[in-house]
């Protein structure tokens, strides 16, 4: 099922205000092959209180598009706007602002998660456990394209235990005040393809050591290939940082990347071209 709301409509309940803008809000339900089977239209509607279910993706083949999510909080400090518990999730043209986790996905070995043209700003927190911009468990594929990650707090912008992670044409940046740990954490190994991304590690980063780390929590799955090509990386810290720390036995191929600031391109097996 796919839910569509105007981009300027937030799921955060506002205070009552007689001058609040009203919207035509449409909830279409789509079947296979993107065929619409049902539609709900709300005329001159405005958000007052969300009493529906949490956005828990317990089903399979779920698509979400053009929704803004903000301020997801839970008592254990590991809240998530979207919890993907089934198989296959697609997110497009959506915004995740000031949440604990933006997207949190559990283990589902045959699942594919695709995120396109979306924005993640000010997510992340380290309390009882750490929350991240995106955190996916052991799935088959995480693919993120054309998206922006900015000002993540304490956790990682992207944390993936996927067998294969593909990051293409994204912006992944701390900014001046972001306190993220790693820009990209490939926790247990697995193939990594990073092409044409803009990356920046900010002066307030909570972990100065590296931007991209592969295998930090033990290499427990096959790592077929590591290709990092055509990316632009800026280190705005006063101390040197490692661009790619490869803790696997698979040789990383770094090609055509550009660096600004004090940067060591590679630590571990591989080559820099």
Least confident window among 11-15, 72-76, 151-155, 258-262: 11-15
- Tens digit of pLDDT for each residue in 96-105? 999 999 999 9
Tell whether the model's pLDDT for residue 78 goes beyond 90. Answer: no
What does the buried/exposed string (b/e) look like for 172-204 if buried means 16 or more CB atoms within 10 Å of the residue's CB? bbbbeebbbbbbbbbbbbbbbebbebebbbbeb
SS3 256: coil
Q: What is the pTM of this model?
A: 0.80
- Tens digit of pLDDT for each residue in 151-173? 999 899 999 999 999 999 999 99
Cα gap 135→161, rounded to integer Å: 8
């Amino acid at each position: 099922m796919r839910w569509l709301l105007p981009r300027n409509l937030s799921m955060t309940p506002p205070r009552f205000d007689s001058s609040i803008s009203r919207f035509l809000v449409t909830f279409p339900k789509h079947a296979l092959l993107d065929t619409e089977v049902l539609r709900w239209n709300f005329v001159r509607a405005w958000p007052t209180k969300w009493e529906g279910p949490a956005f828990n993706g317990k089903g399979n083949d779920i698509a979400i598009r053009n929704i803004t999510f903000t301020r997801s909080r839970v008592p254990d400090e590991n809240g998530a706007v979207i919890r993907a518990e089934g198989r296959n999730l697609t997110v497009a043209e959506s915004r995740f602002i000031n949440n604990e986790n933006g997207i949190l996905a559990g283990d589902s070995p045959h699942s594919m998660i695709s995120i396109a043209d979306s924005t993640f700003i000010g997510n992340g927190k380290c309390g009882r456990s750490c929350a991240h911009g995106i955190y996916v468990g052991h799935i088959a594929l995480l693919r993120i394209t054309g998206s922006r990650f900015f000002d993540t707090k304490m956790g990682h912008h992207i944390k993936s235990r996927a067998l294969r992670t593909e990051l293409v044409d994204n912006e992944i940046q701390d900014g001046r005040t972001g306190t993220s740990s790693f820009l990209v954490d490939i926790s247990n190994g697995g193939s990594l393809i990073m092409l044409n991304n803009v990356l920046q590690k900010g002066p307030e980063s909570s972990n100065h050591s590296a931007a991209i780390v592969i295998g930090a929590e033990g290499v427990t799955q096959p790592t077929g290939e590591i290709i990092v090509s055509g990316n632009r990386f800026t280190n705005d810290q006063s101390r040197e940082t490692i661009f790619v720390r490869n803790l696997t036995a698979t040789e990383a191929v770094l090609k055509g990347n550009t660096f600004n600031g004090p940067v060591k391109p590679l630590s571990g097996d591989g080559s820099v071209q």
